[in-house]
Amino acid sequence: MAIFVNENTKVLVQGLTGGQGKYHGLRNRDYGTNIVGGVTPGKGGQDVDGIPVFDSVAEAVAATGADASFAAVPPKFASGAILEAAEAGIGFVVCITEGIPAQDEALTYNTLVRNFPDTRLLGPNCPGIISPGKCNIGITAGEIAEAPTAAGPNVGIVSRSGTLTYQALYELKQKGIGVSTCVGIGGDPVPGTNFIDCLEQFQADPETHAIMMIGEIGGSAEEEAAEYIKTNVTKPMSAYIAGVTAPAGKKMGHAGAIVSGGKGTAQGKMDALAAAGVEIGLNPTEAGELMATIVAGL
């Protein structure tokens, strides 16, 4: 099994005719993802390397039965694309777009919660999701991910950082450890999917035997996850929190990565996770080594 996406997921690429949409959409298809169509208003009837293009998500869903969407569109149009997918009945939307204003993110997220509770948004400003050997939606290079095995043990990964998502995947691949699903939730202030959403799914997934979590400074998502882990997660975990040396009050990379008012520090997050029984690595490689030790004991 896997969480959120698998080999049966039918994916549309919103923005397939654009540079980024075409590049990553075709890479996803070549990995084995079932890309069934693209959407660009005004370009319906065309195709991109054999993938049909439609004018609207509703038309694409009617023609292909798509149930997931990859939104690779500029910030100005991203919120509209997400809501269009939801209105068309798409159940899972991955948005990689960076630079969407936080106010727009908040409005879009709350509109989804209120009007489209059956649609899950991953992102924005995220690398996407990969269930190795089954489905890859987003910008992650499929070759750095080790596919899970029937016998296991397999690891589920959830990360706020895009770059560290890739490192976590490759650290485990180098050790021959399979990954059930790797979810990059993104580092913006208003993510559509959070740590707890993923932890809940990994806990329930029989193909996931351990969980690796990558966090970073800013906000309270990691502390909230730690509280959830205490009472709801029984699978062993390792984690790494980026930003130990970040100065207070200065934004570091992601829009959500800022320490303010003494809250959101890396040390505070590490302490909270350690208190929940999570093994804490002081760098990404150490987190991978801790996970290898965990897996060896399963």
- Give the pLDDT of residue 188: 87
- Give the pLDDT of residue 243: 74
- Give the pLDDT of residue 266: 85
Position 231 in a domain: yes
Q: What tokens appear for 48 in the block?
A: 């991109």
- Give the pLDDT of residue 246: 62
Position 256 in a domain: yes
Prediction pTM value: 0.94
- Give the pLDDT of residue 189: 85
Sites in the chain below the pLDDT cut of 50: 255
In DSSP terms, 238 is beta-bridged to 212, 279
Shared domain check, 55 and 19: yes
Rounded Cα distance between 192 and 187, Å, is 11
Shared domain check, 286 and 162: yes
Shared domain check, 282 and 158: yes
- Give the pLDDT of residue 65: 98
Q: How many domains does the chain have?
A: 2
Position 139 in a domain: no
Give the CA distances from residue 33 to residues 22, 70, 81, 225, in Å, rounded to whole numbers and listed in that order.
Answer: 14, 11, 21, 30
Rounded Cα distance between 121 and 93, Å, is 5
Rounded Cα distance between 180 and 120, Å, is 19
Position 133 in a domain: no
Q: What residues are labeled active site?
A: 254
- Give the pLDDT of residue 36: 98
Please give the residue range of the domain that contains residue 96. 10-122
The conformational region for residue 279 under phi > 0 = left, psi -120 to 50 = alpha, else beta, is beta
Shared domain check, 154 and 15: no
CATH of the domain at 162: 3.40.50.261
